Amino acid sequence: MIVLAIDTSTDAVSVAISNSKQLLASSHVLSDRRHAEQLAPIIKNVCKQADISMREIDVVGVDIGPGLFTGMRVGIASAKTIAQVLDVPIIGISSLDILARSVATTDRVVLATIDARRGELYWAMYRNDVGSSIEVKPPVVGKVSDCVADVIDRGQATLIVGNGALRHRASISESLEATGLSIEWANEQLAQPSAGVLAVIVAELALHEQWQTAAELQALYLRAPDAVINWQTRVNL
């Protein structure tokens, strides 16, 4: 089974090709918000590296967010188009699920975070010591202080991963220092979701036919786009 995995939910464009056993090729490029320009050439190059033609793809996997709205839309729209043209199923995975899976060997509670801008985070919490990542706190968006409160309420040793928490590392560390909780920070190289990890998750789900059609796939936004928020603010003034 050949999997094409696409991740554009952050400042990077990440693409991977795998079969059910191993990663065949991948690319992870900082895009500077040029996702639409860069995605198609990267897909082409990764397929070439893997010696796979588009016609051989059996399932498409895509990061459905939360994350950067423009980037998410580019990735999801491209994944849907490819799935429809090839007439293959599609599987959408949360960016937070991908981050949690990237630190799958830990026995700590995993706090997965994505930068939501405007001083806010997207986050969710997971346990990895029971096999694959199990969500124990569903995805939410809120202030850094709310995220810290969730960690304190959980009261367990925690591994923090993702660019959201890294952006606010100093304030988070300071807030948690007095609690006595054991806090560990994941390697900064894992700060963004990886299409390679996404491909692994998609391959596992595809083996059990846990997929969708392109029409059924929906983005996980958690909040309205900034343009909508700004317009509503102006209207309410």
What 3-state class would DSSP assign to 16?
strand
How do beta strands 183-185 and 158-161 pair? parallel
Per residue in 49-97, pLDDT (tens digit) is: 999 999 999 999 999 999 999 999 999 999 999 999 999 999 999 999 9
Q: How far apart are CA 210 and CA 213, in angstroms?
A: 11
Q: Ramachandran region of residue 188, left (φ > 0), alpha (ψ -120 to 50) or beta?
A: alpha
Other Cβ atoms less than 10 A from the Cβ of 88: the count is 18
Task: Tell me the C-alpha distance between 188 and 209, whole Å.
Answer: 33
This prediction's pTM: 0.92
Give the tens place of pLDDT for each residue, 27-41.
999 877 789 999 999
Mean pLDDT, consecutive 10-residue segments, the chain of 237 residues? 97 94 94 88 97 97 96 96 97 98 93 95 91 89 97 97 96 94 96 96 94 94 63 43
Percent of the chain scored above 90 by pLDDT?
86
